[in-house]
Every structure is written in C-alpha cells, then in structure tokens.
Amino acid sequence: MLKKQLIMEKALELFSEQGFEATSVQQITERCGISKGAFYLSFKTKDELMISMVDYYLQQFIIDIDRVVKCVPNKETMLVEFYKSIFQAFREHSASSRVFLNEKAFIVKKELFDKVTAYEAEMSKSIIYMLEQLYGDTLHHTKYDVMYCIKGFMKSYAELFIFSDMPLDLEQLAQSLAEKTDIIARHTTIPFITEEFVSLIAKPYEKEITKDTLLQLMEQNMDHTEDSIEKESLELLKQQVEKTTYSRAIIKGLIENLRPDPAYNWIAYVSAKYFHI
C-alpha cells in the first residue's frame, strides 16, 4: 500500500515533467529506487497505474469542494471560500493539476477519459448545489450557464498556479472571482445551456451508485488495515448497505467516522450519497 503511494507520487512528478507516454516504467522505478519487477507487483500495467492515479488525486479534490459547498454556514462567504479552497488545491498540488485538470483533451484512452469526465461531473454537481443554496429559484434557467462560467474562471485562472510560481494573494483572487460570479448570477438573462442539454452530455459517463458497486468499493478497501474505529465503522456500514437496520443517525455517525481518514474519505463520500445523507 505504501509502495503504491510511493510509485504514484514519483510517477506524478515524471508525468508532470514529461507527459504520460514519454515516461517509461524504467524511469519511474529508478526514481522510486525500486526494481522493475517491484513495479509490476503493485500495478498490473502502466495503464492501471494511470487509472489508479486519477482516482488517488481527483477524489481528494472532489471531496474538498464538496465539503466547502456543504459545510460553510455563511452564504455571504460561500463563494469566496469555494474559490479559496479550489485555488489552494491548485497551489498545493500543482503537479497533479497539471496532469489531470488541464485537460481531458490529451486523455485518449476511453476508460481514463470516462473516469475524468465522471469526476468532473461530480464537481459540476457540487457547483450546482452551491448555486441553488445561494440563489434558489431565481437562477433556475441560467444556473448551468453560471456553472460553466465558474468552471471557465477556474480553468483560466488555474494557469497562474500551474505555469508560474509567482506568489499569489489567494484571498484577493477569491474575492475577485466571487464578485464576478455573483455579478453573472444576478444579471445574466440569456441562457445557453439548458438542463436537458446537460443531461444529454453528462449521462453517458454518469455511473449511479448501486448496492453492488458500493459493496465492491468497500471490499477493496477492507483488507489492508489493522483493527481500529475506522475499520469497525466500515464493517458495520457494509452490513447496513447489505441490509439497513440502523437509524439514519447511526449510519451518518458511522460515515462521519470514516471521513477524516484519507484511506476512507472516498468511501464516506460515496456512502453519504448512497444513503442520501
């Protein structure tokens, strides 16, 4: 497990320097200080490494956004907090941003493309949720356009973090973009992106969370860990997925137990969606 992480981190460095295709497994193992054989003990193929990396790096990003959107109590500051959180992530993980967020264009393998698209759809959902919280029904026919604008702001300004290492005032950037977003939300009258439009585009990639997929996800993360509150919570939660007997409060409690642990926070995120919590 730790070996996997080491490989993913060194591979990220190399991919961000040279690109995926131009980086050889040899180079990765050299930077890790391990043998080629050891690499293939952790990952079946080079492609599988890339797929794992997408999960490893994008899940955290999605969870961060979702937390801000769901937890900030003050509507006045939500947009600012949202942007601050986003760009903080860009700054701290500029290498992974370079590799994964900008852009899907060079992701030519369908499986990877679908994965990245699915994560982006998750992000879009969080943004839409935020806009609904902030503006309610007044925005109902332009909210998808506002979402596209927000994603555009992210892409455009992310460049500053990804391609230069200048010191940037996060607070002012967030203020500036929050103001722009608010202006757009309040004044836009001509919509372009409609709800059915979004559903047409997004649907093919959208994987709904079924009992089976969730159980499978849980089993994958079951083994490699010693006894702990987290492990017990996960086991109980798994039983509840198979047959729900506890109250929603208990289930929520179990989920919250898992959330802080990086090894389980994606399971927590998905479980919360599954139980509609």
Whether 102 and 155 have beta carbons less than 8 Å apart is answered as yes
**Which range, of 39-47, 79-87, 119-127, 245-253, touches DNA by CB under 7 A?**
39-47
* Residue 38 sits in the site that holds DNA (CB under 7 A): yes
Contact partner at residue 222 from a second copy, DNA, none, CB < 5 to 8 Å by partner kind: none
* Per-residue binding letters, 11-30, with DNA (x by CB under 7 A): ------------xxxxx---
d(CA 277, CA 274): 8
Question: Could you tell me which residues come within 8 angstroms of residue 104 by beta carbon, excluding any fewer than 6 positions away?
Answer: 113, 116, 117, 120
Q: Which is nearer to a second copy, 17 or 242 (CB)?
A: 17
* Other residues' Cβ atoms within 10 Å of the Cβ of residue 30: 14
Contact partner at residue 189 from DNA, a second copy, none, CB < 5 to 8 Å by partner kind: a second copy
Q: Report in angstroms how near the CB of residue 6 gets to DNA at its nearest.
A: 10
Q: Report in angstroms how near the CB of residue 51 gets to a second copy at its nearest.
A: 16
Question: Could you tell me which residues come within 8 angstroms of residue 4 by beta carbon, excluding any fewer than 6 positions away?
Answer: 42, 43, 52
Contact partner at residue 190 from DNA, a second copy, none, CB < 5 to 8 Å by partner kind: a second copy
Q: Report in angstroms how near the CB of residue 252 gets to a second copy at its nearest.
A: 35
Question: Could you tell me which residues come within 8 angstroms of residue 163 by beta carbon, excluding any fewer than 6 positions away?
Answer: none
* Other residues' Cβ atoms within 10 Å of the Cβ of residue 97: 20
Whether 130 and 82 have beta carbons less than 8 Å apart is answered as yes
Q: Which is nearer to DNA, 35 or 216 (CB)?
A: 35
Q: Report in angstroms how near the CB of residue 116 gets to DNA at its nearest.
A: 20
Interface pick for DNA out of 4, 6, 31, 40 (rule CB under 7 A): 40
Interface pick for DNA out of 3, 231, 259, 273 (rule CB under 7 A): 3
- How is 112-143 classified by DSSP, letter by letter? HHHHHHHHHHHHHHHHHHHHHHHHGGGGTTTH
* Residue 35 sits in the site that holds DNA (CB under 7 A): yes
Contact partner at residue 103 from a second copy, DNA, none, CB < 5 to 8 Å by partner kind: a second copy
Q: How many residues bind DNA (CB under 7 A)?
A: 17
Contact partner at residue 175 from a second copy, DNA, none, CB < 5 to 8 Å by partner kind: a second copy
One-letter identity of residue 150? I
* Residue 4 sits in the site that holds DNA (CB under 7 A): no
d(CA 54, CA 122): 14
Q: Report in angstroms how near the CB of residue 16 gets to a second copy at its nearest.
A: 9
Which residues are at the interface with a second copy (CB under 8 A)? 17-22, 98-99, 101-106, 108, 145, 148-149, 151-157, 160, 162-164, 166, 169, 172-173, 175-177, 179-180, 183-184, 187-192, 197, 200-201
d(CA 277, CA 224): 27
Residues that bind DNA (CB under 7 A): 3, 23-27, 34-38, 40-41, 44-47
